Amino acid sequence: MDTKNFLNKFYEKYGNRNDKPVLFFSPGRVNLIGEHTDYNGGFVFPCALNYGTYLLIRKIKSNILRFSTLNFNDDEETVLKGLFVNKSKKWINYPLGVINEFIKRGTQITGLEFLYYGDVPNGAGLSSSASIEMVTAVALNELFSAGLITLDMVKMSQKAENEFVGMNCGIMDQFAVGFGKKDHAIFLNCDTLFYENIPVVLQDCSLIITNTNKRRGLTNSKYNERRAECDKAVELLQAYKPLKNLSELNTDEIHLLDKFISDPVVSKRAKHVISENGRVTEAVKVLKENNISRFGELMNLSHDSLRDDYEVTGIELDTLVYEGRKLPGVIGTRMTGAGFGGCTVSIVKNSDSAKFMTDLSATYLKKTGLVPDFYQPEIGNGAGRLDL
């Protein structure tokens, strides 16, 4: 990040070079395994990335909020006069939702100038939305001395996305963005929020993220439909035993699903969630044992379940995964994020990584007409202030 250039862009936008803004950063995240389990109270295994959202922010003596981004040409300005309402299809819904949560807590927000820049691809499934929310929350917490701990801001950011933006996401994204630790992934129980930082040591391999470059808007996708199907499964399984969420069942109980759930689609959704929780717990165990080969096999099984039982993949993701598995040096590969487009995450031997990207790009273009983007990320820290 060229902070000097970023600062100059801020001054070009807002003027007054004698009043220096403050710089904050919040990462994106990639989930190594454990998909669509978070809102079912299950286990996930994400890590923060060295890609994310940068924010320059400055207080001003007015009741105006000014928003701008270097990612596209869409400046916004609004007046502080109580709680905000959703601005249909506007990117500023993410920071506005967070600002609302601070106002509800009694924080006295004054006029502000915001300039955002993100190097997480928007709509790629790497949590650009949670990154924007958390960088806004961390900045407001510091500038207005709100005294919030990280978990407070994680919960507020999730609430902003659920209730203000209208995306019924679980807590994983904001949690990973807030609590990320360099070179570690987070083994998180999304029901209790108990977590453990697990070192990620991939030996002679690296992570490669591949972007399908198929955009999908989650609020218009079948994400919320999947949530409803899981809720229906919980309702039907009450005849078996009292349940708050699907993750209270273990893999030994999968065979009971068809007995209590007559709808085969709802049964498949439940099967994915329960089996995925089992894969996450095993994945953490084998990673601690440095068994990267088995970790990769579990990644592969995860994708197969997301394709067959949860049905959230599609031709683009499946092409990247199943063509990728044919290439040398690929330990494991799967979709990551909500699906319906977005990205895959792969573990690939360093000696084969260049060929993996070249060959997969050619095959993917031939089969889909799209050109993928590749990222070789480092695992970074969570949201916080940076020095200018």
Instruction: State the pLDDT confidence band at 13, using cuts at 50, 70 and 90.
Output: very high
Tens digits of per-residue pLDDT, 67-114? 999 998 989 999 999 999 998 878 999 999 999 999 999 999 999 999
**Contact call for residues 218 and 337 (beta carbons, < 8 A):** no
Beta pairing, strands 76-79 & 195-199:
unpaired
Beta pairing, strands 112-118 & 64-69:
parallel
CB atoms within 10 A of CB 294: 16
> Would the pTM of this model clear 0.85, i.e. be above it?
yes
**Angle between helix 223-237 and helix 264-288 axes, rounded to 10 deg:** 100
Taking the C-alpha atoms of residue 114 and residue 138, their distance in angstroms, rounded to an integer, is 13
Taking the C-alpha atoms of residue 195 and residue 190, their distance in angstroms, rounded to an integer, is 9
**Of the residues 74, 75, 152, 173, which is catalytic?**
173
Q: Note the CATH number of domain 3-198+380-386.
A: 3.30.230.10
**Contact call for residues 54 and 7 (beta carbons, < 8 A):** no
Give yes or no: 231 in active site.
no
**Contact call for residues 79 and 111 (beta carbons, < 8 A):** no
CB atoms within 10 A of CB 386: 12
Distances (CA, A) of 55 to 23, 113, 131, 141, 223: 6, 10, 10, 14, 29
In the chain, CATH 3.30.230.10 covers: 3-198+380-386
**Contact call for residues 275 and 305 (beta carbons, < 8 A):** yes
| Residue whose tokens read 């600062």 | 7
**Angle between helix 353-368 and helix 315-324 axes, rounded to 10 deg:** 140
Q: φ and ψ at 264, to 5 degrees?
A: -65, -30
**Contact call for residues 133 and 91 (beta carbons, < 8 A):** no
Structure tokens at 196: 């453990």
Structure tokens at 359: 């060959």
CB atoms within 10 A of CB 334: 29
**SS3 assignment, position 86:** coil
In the chain, CATH 3.30.70.890 covers: 199-375
CB atoms within 10 A of CB 225: 10
CB atoms within 10 A of CB 241: 11
Instruction: State the pLDDT confidence band at 374, using cuts at 50, 70 and 90.
Output: very high
Tens digits of per-residue pLDDT, 37-67? 999 999 999 999 999 999 999 999 999 999 9
Beta bridge partners of 187: 196
Tens digits of per-residue pLDDT, 107-152? 999 999 999 999 987 666 677 899 999 999 999 999 999 999 999 9
Query: 1 pLDDT exceeds 90?
Result: no
The fold of the 199-375 domain, in CATH, is: Alpha-Beta Plaits (3.30.70)
Instruction: State the pLDDT confidence band at 12, using cuts at 50, 70 and 90.
Output: very high
